[in-house]
Structure 1
Amino acid sequence: MSFTPPPTRSRRRYTAAEKLAAVEAFTRLGNCRAVARELGFPYLTVYQWLVAAGVDVGGARALRKEEYFRLRAAGVHRAEAARLTGFHIRNVRDWDRGIHRTSYSRTLPDGRVIHYNKNVDVESLVAGVRVSALEQVLDPRFLSLLEREKIRAFHAQGVSIRSMAKALGRAPSSVSRELRRNSVGDVYEPYAAHRVSVTRRPRPKTRKLLTQPKLKAFVQEGLDNQWSPEQISHKLVEEFPGSQEMRVSPETIYQTLYLQARGGLKKEIQAALRTGRTRRKPHNTGLERQPRFVDPMVMISERPAEIEDRAVPGHWEGDLIVGTQNRSAIATLVERSTRFVMLAHLPGDHTAETVRDALIKTMRTLPEHLRGSLTWDQGVEMARHKEFSIATDMPVYFCDPASPWQRGSNENTNGLLRQYFPKGTDLSVFGPEDLERVALQLNGRPRKTLGWKNPAECLRDLLVSN
């Protein structure tokens, strides 16, 4: 339940019978990993038993490999040959491609070597430094290769350090330190200096949780109590307001957990984290989001305040309720101030074109002063929102991703509609008359938020007053 093994855990003692069973299973299966899976023992433990018993583990593997190639030469499919010989499909795929694998590298048929620990082939290195690291764009506070080239030119011309700094927009101390650290005699080489700077970037140091016992104990206790790393981090600030040593970010906790998981503590990590993951899951940020539609969206944050406080009628929220296997749908529209409901029939499908035409037809039944705006989520059915706005003179505002509460009236109405259209129902069997009858019933219900009036009465009052 933590990122370190419990100190009180005792090492398991295996019996001679268990070791003998592993040897017998290997004689039958001929595969160390298959033995480990069958008996439920760690692979390395089984491997050590077999070696200690004098079993030629490597020889058995070589025989199975020969058998695999014999089967392939006889025309057996790769997956079937792998199954019969007990090899993983990824291993045999590399063999068929002529790739030679070791514990830490792969040698391709053309002679290139890819090292696992460097995650880069040797041809992508320049003087032992990765090309991608040399070309990486850093924060402007770091000297770039172009600036280093300018420093070399200035230095060769005898320009003073302060003049160089003024021309580059840098502090004189930065230029002075660069020349002092990366010059050989009186010669400054910008490319060598840039490579050296790349090698200085990593900061290999002991993780904070491993050097602060008190901090580690607090984090340990939080994980045992099923707290998230974020909760632990904020609780530290509250419990130890004046101690900078008792500070750790959520990311540091996650990094420590996942680093230990790579060492084999996967069960402990699964118990420590709510998600049960033993690997990081990449997350996209808002900066990485691609435009949802061809036509630019107007987000809900730009919606006028008069719409937000429901002071002016005529502003609508909309969405789809979908039927079984998303094959049918109904468009739902709710007026924000009166909660008046309108249902749009979608015959056949709910593509962007079909939804556009249905919404235009429905909105044109309203008087102009009740066609103020429409708020929708970012579903693909609104890809034609620009054409809808042109046809109805109604702007469309889009909610943020995964934020259904931003159109709360519509979400509440969709919940009420499920009384008439349960989930898993084929909605294509309901015609326009059925939708009109359901909308009539909802609009006739008294609502607490309307002072126990019903939406139909509130909309009637608006029509009469105008």
Structure 2
Amino acid sequence: MSFAEAARAVGISTRTGERWRNGRGASGRIKAYPPVNAVVPLHVEPVPAVPARYLGEAERIHIADRLRERATVRAIAAELSRSPSTISREIHRNRTLQADGRWHYRPFAAQRRADARRPRPKTGKIGQNPELRGFIEAHLVLRWSPEQICHALRIRFPDRPEMHVTHETIYQALYVQGRGELRRELSRALRTGRAMRRPHRHAARRQQRYSHPMVMISERPAEAADRAVPGHWEGDLIVGRNSRSAIATLVERSTRYLLLVHLPIDHSAPAVRNALIDTVKTLPPHLKRSLTWDQGCEMAAHHSFSVATDVPVYFCDPGSPWQRGSNENTNGLLRQYFPKGSNLSVHTLKNLDAVAAELNSRPRKTLGWETPAERLSKLLAA
């Protein structure tokens, strides 16, 4: 068949066929591969291939042949369309120590070693070594922590890597009972005394903390993200000693203009809502477009705030303070006036207005060395 007919018969384009026939050089993330130099007859049944993520026997034979020819690891990786680190790990992991004291890569021995290592589940390091298991159990009875035990092992047996484990390996042997490497009752000697591992909290599994569903920051208008249109605010609380007092901060995204909200009694959800309503109502209509807040419990009444002010509230993702970058930066500046651990309830509304006025009259590099007050007055005049 001609080349074009062969490509049509296989079901590929002629351009793809040329790549198969001539090979391809490495380019960016595209790996190199050699040209096709053999054709398998159509009547031969295909042999079930090893999953692509694993090296096969044919690839190991190729590695051994090329190593005898003193080819580099990167050259072998390019020929097999594999990562150089994959080839390097394969050579060091599955090589064999010969009688002459030298290491040699033998492909069939490497294949047997890889096949023996693949089945799951496996016996862990602690279960395979009775001496290691006895040392760990004896020190757990003495109420040593797993981290103390793993450091003691490295000090006691510096030249025996089979006696070295990490503290996570000990925790796995205690909590994953299907492995049966350590007695379950030894978990009572841990600091927590728990027989089961407490899972870490995940943001996606958080329970709904507000009666009305949150509108996330991903749904905020695009005009708020590029800071081109004024009227989009970021808000948060700065908290005093023992979380008994607080001040609410509002920063306009376009001008970095600051408003400090007085919370003289407490910072519960109703108190924060009422104080924000009183503050926002003093703004002109074109400066009341949106408010972005974190997922603090003080904004539990966000729905009634939006109803009273016609200002939608958008919430940041959990653990993402950079989504309110202007507000976080301003709160850092405010700590010069309201240090951490101080009682914020002693500051009056007059004091808060004086601090806000001082910050609003400070030149900002991000505003071309204009002050927030000057930038805001220009927008209001326009």
- Normalising by structure 2, report the TM-score: 0.53
Q: CA deviation at 1:285?
A: 3.4
Confirm or deny: 8 A CA contact 1:345 1:432 kept in the other structure.
Answer: yes
CA distance in 2, matches of 1:276, 1:434: 56
The alpha-carbon distance between structure 1 residues 376 and 287, as it changes in their structure 2 partners (threshold 3 A), is closer
Equivalent in the alignment of 1:320: 237
Equivalent in the alignment of 2:217: 300
CA distance in 2, matches of 1:300, 1:341: 21
Equivalent in the alignment of 1:419: 336
Q: Does residue 363 of structure 1 match 2:280?
A: yes
- Of 303-312 and 417-426, deviating more is 303-312
The runs of 5 or more residues in structure 2 that have no matched partner are 1-81, 94-113, 115-119, 138-145, 152-164, 173-196
Alignment of 1:30-69 (within 5 A): none
Equivalent in the alignment of 1:400: 317
The alpha-carbon distance between structure 1 residues 291 and 258, as it changes in their structure 2 partners (threshold 3 A), is farther
Equivalent in the alignment of 1:437: 354
Structure 2: which amino acid aligns with 1:452? W
CA distance in 1, matches of 2:167, 2:376: 48
The runs of 5 or more residues in structure 1 that have no matched partner are 1-235
CA distance in 1, matches of 2:355, 2:208: 36
Q: CA deviation at 1:304?
A: 1.7
Q: CA deviation at 1:278?
A: 3.5
Equivalent in the alignment of 1:428: 345
The alpha-carbon distance between structure 1 residues 442 and 238, as it changes in their structure 2 partners (threshold 3 A), is farther
Q: CA deviation at 1:258?
A: 9.1
Which of 247, 250, 274 does residue 333 from structure 1 map onto? Answer: 250
Aligned to 1:298, what secondary structure does the other structure show?
Answer: coil
The alpha-carbon distance between structure 1 residues 457 and 267, as it changes in their structure 2 partners (threshold 3 A), is closer
Alignment of 1:181-260 (within 5 A): 239-240=85-86
Confirm or deny: 8 A CA contact 2:147 2:167 kept in the other structure.
Answer: no
Equivalent in the alignment of 2:117: none
Alignment of 1:258-273 (within 5 A): 264=136, 266-267=146-147
Q: Does residue 348 of structure 1 match 2:265?
A: yes
Q: CA deviation at 1:270?
A: 5.5
Aligned to 1:406, what secondary structure does the other structure show?
Answer: helix
Q: Does residue 382 of structure 1 match 2:228?
A: no
Equivalent in the alignment of 2:379: 462
Q: CA deviation at 1:237?
A: 6.8
The alpha-carbon distance between structure 1 residues 307 and 256, as it changes in their structure 2 partners (threshold 3 A), is farther
CA distance in 2, matches of 1:436, 1:462: 21
Q: CA deviation at 1:273?
A: 5.9
Q: CA deviation at 1:381?
A: 0.2
Q: Does residue 310 of structure 1 match 2:227?
A: yes
Structure 1: which amino acid aligns with 2:327? N
Aligned residue pair count: 225
Q: CA deviation digits over 1:302-348, x for unaligned, max 9?
A: 11221111111100000000000000000000000100000000011
Q: CA deviation at 1:256?
A: 5.3
The alpha-carbon distance between structure 1 residues 239 and 412, as it changes in their structure 2 partners (threshold 3 A), is same
Q: CA deviation at 1:243?
A: 7.0
- What fraction of aligned residue pairs are identical, expressed as a percent? 60
Q: CA deviation digits over 1:273-314, x for unaligned, max 9?
A: 699984655123344221121100001111122111111110
CA distance in 2, matches of 1:277, 1:445: 56
CA distance in 1, matches of 2:167, 2:251: 38
Q: CA deviation digits over 1:179-205, x for unaligned, max 9?
A: xxxxxxxxxxxxxxxxxxxxxxxxxxx
